[in-house]
Homo-oligomer: A and B are copies of this chain.
Amino acid sequence: VTAADRLTELGIQLPDPFPAFGNYVMSVRTGDTLHVTGHVPVTAGGAVTGKLGADLTAEDGYAAARAAAICLLGTLQGELGSLERVGRLVYLHATINAAPDFTEHTAVADGASDLLVDVLGERGRHARLAVGVSSLPGDVALEIQVVVELTPDLPRT
């Protein structure tokens, strides 16, 4: 089953690749490794903003992390042409905009991890770091940044 099949089964339509808002690019390849810029949660209603544990609940955060992962897949689809070129999701860094007494980062980050494993299968399983930060650009609820191993058959560009 391909990632595209799974997305169809889940009723998810990927957004266009995410645009850059500063002087950076959305991903850089080195060897067979792709470093991807941090993605924020954007839904049909716009960017999800606010702090976990103050403005947003852990459930809100789970949904936001899932939305950010969908934005990330949109970028990967655009940059790679196909999600089948994802050989392995290696590492995911979740930075969560949170109040100082927030403790449910694991549950929030699982919103991204669950979606990525659901769509990519075993190759979606990743090492992870989830932390709470005091502020994020535009007061977005979270950012997820990943390192991806590409399939070896990807032609060098």
Asked if residues B24 and A125 are in contact (CB atoms below 8 Å), the reply is yes
Write out the residue numbers on chain B whose beta carbons fall within 8 Å of the beta carbon of A36: 127
Asked if residues A22 and B109 are in contact (CB atoms below 8 Å), the reply is yes
Within 8 A of B (CB), among A22-44: 22-28, 30-33, 35-38
CB-defined interface of A64-103 with B at 8 Å, one 1/0 digit per residue? 0000000000000000000000001111110110111111
Q: What band does the interface of chain A fall in when counting residues whose beta carbon is under 8 Å from B?
A: 35 or more
A138 at the interface (CB under 8 A from B): yes
Asked if residues B138 and A100 are in contact (CB atoms below 8 Å), the reply is no
A110–B32 CA distance with the chains assembled, in angstroms: 27
A138–B105 CA distance with the chains assembled, in angstroms: 8
Which residue of A37, A99, A110 has the most chain B CB atoms within 10 A of its CB atom?
A37
Write out the residue numbers on chain B whose beta carbons fall within 8 Å of the beta carbon of A23: 110, 113-114, 117
A125 to chain B, nearest CB (A): 5
18 residue pairs A–B, Cβ–Cβ below 8 Å: A21-B106, A22-B113, A23-B113, A23-B117, A24-B92, A25-B126, A28-B90, A31-B32, A31-B33, A35-B90, A38-B128, A38-B130, A51-B100, A53-B135, A98-B134, A101-B135, A105-B135, A129-B143
